Amino acid sequence: MTTTTDPAAAAVRSIGTARTRVEGRDKVTGAARYAGEIPFAELAHGWLVLSTVARGRVRSVEADPVLAMPGVLAVLHHGNAPRVESDFVGMLGVPPDPAAVVFQDDRVPHAGWPVALVVAETSEQAREAAETLVVHYDQEPHDVAFSAGHPGAYAPESAGYAEAAVEKGDLEAALAASSVVVDAEYTTPEEHHNAMEPHAAAARWDGGRLEVVDSNQGSTWVASELAQMFSLDPGAVRVRSEHVGGGFGSKGVRAHQVAAVMAATVLQRPVRVVMTRRQVFSLAGYRSPTVQRVRLGADADGRLRVLEHRSLSATSTVREFVETSAAAGRALYPADAHHTTHELVRLDVPTPTWMRAPGEAPGSFALESALDELAEKCGVDPIALRTRNEPDRGPVSGLPFGSRNLVACFEEGARRFGWADRDPRPGLRRDGRWLLGTGTAAASFHAGAGPSTAAVTAEADGTFTVRITAADIGTGARTALTLVAADTLEVAPERVRVRIGDSDFGPAMIAGGSMGTRSWAWAITIAARELRERLALDGTVPPEGVTVRSDTTEALGALSQKERHSYGAQFAEVAVDTATGEVRVRRMLGIFAAGRIVNPLTARSQLVGGMIWGISMALHEEAARDRNLGSHVGADLAGYHFAAHADVPAVEADWVDDQDPDDPIDIKGVGEVGIVGAAAAVANAVWHATGVRHRHLPIRPDRVL
């Protein structure tokens, strides 16, 4: 048949209009199936067994009694599991996580290390057998105590995507020239991912192909690592992950997928492995605790001469991971001496990982609190202080900004929050037994894109199908991509169907680093543009449709070097109970410059979600480890507190006009910037309320009193 794109629709743009999720009805009616609930014929169930000791070796696994239990099919452990390859560098530029390459040797590097998988006919049988399984260990002394001044602290050579150390300018000279100095230590605790949907994967062999149904942040990533681990042709692995109940950096290649593939291989039947909530605390990565020293030196008017930020975080003995907290100021403020460095201490703990706004979330707490302290010392308004230190080029890189608009965020935020009426003096406002205060902080997060491929098909029935290995981890990415495709094709979004989460669609960027939607939108835009042009020349669509494919690798490679970030201004008002020490956030406002906003409805949810996480970080979240056992205390949602509905007031997020001129549709990223600075805004408000600085998170009642 003949199809046309509709020029009239071009006037009614979809980008920028608020749309509910295209899969929303499926999600709320239960029609959307998650990895843990997709049925397979002959499905067997694997249950992971985690080490109860914090360091040592597995001496023996008493598999026989468990194999005699009802329904039990296999017990996999280091003595019998298939050998896999781990000596390679994966899609994200690092070797696979050793905790994911399960059952390869007897070493136990931390409590909660996977030591066995029990497989049974039902999940309940697997669980009972797993809980019965006796594992003998040779225990060794362990160290899980993270603290400043740990004797093992060392400076890492690299910090992943950020430089580990940048030291520009003469620190001592700039300090000597400063009239005002703030020198303070801030700490943040170990914080944990708790996606609503725990990690789950089912694996099966289909002919010569391995098929995995998973919950992940990138099926290309998982498929390529599984292919390398199991020495398979990349085309012989298919990973699907259509609906994902949260990810935040934790849903990569982990023990459950690899264990499921091993079991499916050994048993030659489909096997599913689902992590329990408690297992997620040990197996899915987390945010390292930090100790951060910030030294700011400034002229009397607050103009910075010194920005020194040194961050200590923890890593494991099996892998190096740096929480890049000190990098937070590199794109924010200029100073004559700009020193930002990281140190690590290796402990007998699981390896930390990315967790929403890795680096910037804890880093901004320290840096933006220190700036508030500087504003206080200089007698300068905190917003004026930031405006005064606004750079015209990257403070460390010297590169031009893609787009910035941080000052515009503060101006709009100040106007809407009512900042102009604020009395800067602390501890003066009362509402009954409550002390009231307001605080602000800046936010920034890197905006980038990763190479992706997409295919856009004009179907014979006049609709369009987009295929891309995107992951919608709850962000609304799929809906945003629908709007992007519709606008480029100049059709109504109802005529566009976006299919995601299938590695067979070709390589694509992960949902991570706030880069997912931008990366995928770029690829879709290129393919859809070419398809529209082709259809304009010849609108005839054969029964199999007309498909155009794209690959952004070259376009991204040709991008000029710039400082590209999303920015924001956070505002919080708190009330502090002088009798109990309880801190209540009364309202919160965040104004962001995050590029063109594709779908205001879901973008706002992303930003608000980040801000709520910031409240949670400021007031509640803190994982506790038992030093003797080396394992968590209360690794569940009863013991690990985060902000519940009753803790969250009216949270408002909005944005200023902002475009990234180098992006085909002007977008940047909204994934992580919402949490950045949020905890500092709350902490600064607590100071304003009480006159007391809180430099250690969370700001628990016992710390307030």
Chain residues that interact with ligand MOS, rule: CB under 6 A: 217, 247-249, 354-356, 358, 512-513
Give 250 or 438: the residue with its C-beta nearer to ligand MOS.
Answer: 250
In the complex, minimum distance from the CB of residue 251 to ligand MOS, in angstroms, rounded to a whole number: 8
CA distances from 230 to 46, 94, 141, 223, 266 (A): 19, 17, 34, 11, 13
Minimum separation from the CB atom of position 353 to ligand MOS (A) = 8
In this structure, the chain runs to a length of 705
What is the C-alpha separation between 188 and 165, in angstroms, rounded? 20
Q: Which of 405, 387, 410, 269 is closest to 334 using CA atoms?
A: 387
The minimum distance between CB 669 and ligand MOS, in angstroms, equals 10
Q: Given CA atoms 81, 86, 92, 97 in this order, what sign does their dihedral have?
A: positive
> What is the rounded distance in angstroms from the CA atom of residue 688 to the CA atom of residue 573?
9
Q: How far is the CB of 622 from ligand MOS (least distance, A)?
A: 19
Rounded to the nearest whole angstrom, what is the least distance from the CB of residue 637 to ligand MOS in the complex?
20
User: Of 324 and 438, which CB lies nearer to ligand MOS in the complex structure?
Assistant: 324
Q: Read off φ and ψ for residue 281, nearest 5 degrees.
A: -65, -30
Nearer to ligand MOS, 248 or 464 (CB): 248
Residue (137 or 248) nearer to ligand MOS, CB: 248
Counting DSSP H helices and E strands in the chain, the numbers are: 17, 28
Partners of 307 in the beta sheet?
A: 296, 338
In terms of Cα–Cα distance, which of 669, 685, 636, 621 is closest to 191? 621
Angle 516-537/477-489 helices, nearest 10 degrees? 30
Cis before 698 (ω within 30): yes
Could you identify the residue written with the tokens 């896999």? 84
Give the H/E segment covering residue 653.
strand 650-655
- Toward ligand MOS, which CB reaches closer, 248 or 401? 248
CB nearer to ligand MOS: pick between 297 and 358: 358
Residue 56 or 247 having the CB closest to ligand MOS: 247
Question: For ligand MOS, which is the closer residue by CB, 244 or 255?
Answer: 244
- Comparing CA positions, the residue from 524, 443, 356 lying closest to residue 15 is 524
Identify which of residues 382 and 476 has a Cβ nearer to ligand MOS in the complex.
476
Short-list 81, 71, 46, CA closest to 271? 46
Quick one: CA dihedral 499, 501, 504, 506, positive or negative? positive
Q: Is 672 annotated in the active site?
A: yes
Containing H/E element for 272? Answer: strand 271-274
Cα distance between the two ends of the chain: 74
Least Å distance between CB 511 and ligand MOS? 6
CA dist., res. 340 & res. 310, Å (int): 6
Q: What is the DSSP letter of 540?
A: B
* Least distance (Å) between residue 10 CB and ligand MOS: 34
Q: How far is CA 520 from the centre of its chain?
A: 17
From 197, 242, 323, 672, active-site residue? 672
Nearer to ligand MOS, 244 or 307 (CB): 244
Kindly report the number of other CB atoms within 10 A of residue 221's CB atom.
Answer: 26
Looking up tokens 């014929």, which residue turns up?
41
- Measured from the CB atom, the residue of 446 and 688 that comes closer to ligand MOS is 446
Report, in Å, the least distance between residue 356 CB and ligand MOS.
Answer: 5
Please, what is the minimum distance in Å from the beta carbon of residue 362 to ligand MOS? 12
Task: Give residue for tokens 């390398």.
Answer: 228
**Measured between alpha carbons, how far is 167 from 248 in angstroms, rounded to an integer?**
30
Nearer to ligand MOS among residue 109 and residue 450 (C-beta): 450
Give the tokens for residue 387: 């405006």
Tell me the residue nearest to ligand MOS as measured from the CB.
249
CB of residue 222 to ligand MOS, shortest distance in Å:
14
Q: Name the minimum Å distance from CB 446 to ligand MOS.
A: 10
Shortest CA distance to 142 belongs to which of 678, 626, 699, 663?
A: 626
Nearest distance in Å: CB 664, ligand MOS: 22
Name the pairing type of β-strands 114-120 and 44-50.
antiparallel
Give the tokens for residue 321.
């991971």
| Half-sphere exposure at residue 136, Cβ-oriented, CA atoms within 13 angstroms | 5
User: In terms of CB distance, is 355 or 611 closer to ligand MOS?
Assistant: 355
From 246, 251, 257, select the one nearest 216 (Cα to Cα): 251
Q: Which residues of 203-214 are buried (b: 16+ CB within 10 A; e: fewer)?
A: bbbeeeebbbbb
- Which run of H or E residues covers position 417? helix 406-417
User: Smallest distance from the beta carbon of 239 to ligand MOS, in angstroms?
Assistant: 17
- d(Cα 462, Cα 465) in Å, to the nearest integer? 10
Give the Cα separation of 440 and 678 in Å (integer): 8
| DSSP states along 101-117 | STTSSSEE-STT-EEEE
The residues annotated with a catalytic role in the active site are 672
